[in-house]
Structure 1
């Protein structure tokens, strides 16, 4: 197991969390497995930006983003150099610190939040 520290998010994880993640699963799936309801409007098919996360620590250890993911990230609210789509960033043996942005552009469920 690999540790993911989730920084506090006022709606999804007000206290923050430390979870034991399963390597080989995406950040999004690991958060969902621990009852942190990260938006994933496209059902984790790399077709939207609702699962956008900012990887504050451990970013360099992740596999590079695909061209499709990079193109979608350009549309994400609050994009930073260490942004990833949670559904595409696969956890490995490196611990991560993840921030869920305050807002997401929910292209599939406009006006969701």
Structure 2
């Protein structure tokens, strides 16, 4: 299991948290499995930017983003050099520290009940 430290986010994780994730799953799936309801409007198909995260530590351990992810990231709010779409960033064996940006760009927000 790999440790992921999630920095505080005012709505999704107000106090921050530490979770354990299996290597080989996406950061998005790891967050969702631990009740951190990060948006993923395109259902994790790399077609939006709602699952954008900033990898504060451990960025270099992630596989490089593919061109489609890079193209989508250009549209993300608050883009930084160590930004990734969490649906595309695959957990390895190196611990990660991630920050979920305060805002996201979601052209069509659906509420699931």
* Same structural fold, with TM-score higher than 0.5 when normalized by the shorter chain: yes
Between the aligned partners of 1:33 and 1:60, the Cα distance in structure 2 is 24
Question: What is the distance in 2 between the residues matched to 1:96 and 1:15?
Answer: 17
Cα RMSD, aligned residues only = 0.9
1:21 equivalenced with 2:21 (yes/no): yes
1:5–1:97 contact (8 Å) kept in structure 2: yes
Q: Distance in 1 between matches of 2:107 and 2:85?
A: 14
Contact 1:48 1:107 in 2 (8 A): no
Specify every segment of 5 or more residues in structure 2 that has no aligned partner in the other structure, as ranges: none
Alignment check: 8 A CA contact 1:2 1:93 kept: yes
Q: What TM-score, normalized by structure 1, do the two folds share?
A: 0.95
1:8 paired to 2:29:
no
Query: TM-score of the superposition, structure 2-length normalised?
Result: 0.95
Structure 1, unmatched stretches of 5+, are: none
Give the structure 2 partner of residue 69 of structure 1: 69
Give the corresponding residue for 2:97: 97
Count of aligned pairs:
110
Q: What is the deviation of 1:109?
A: 2.0
Question: Quick one: distance in 2 between partners of 1:64 and 1:56?
Answer: 16
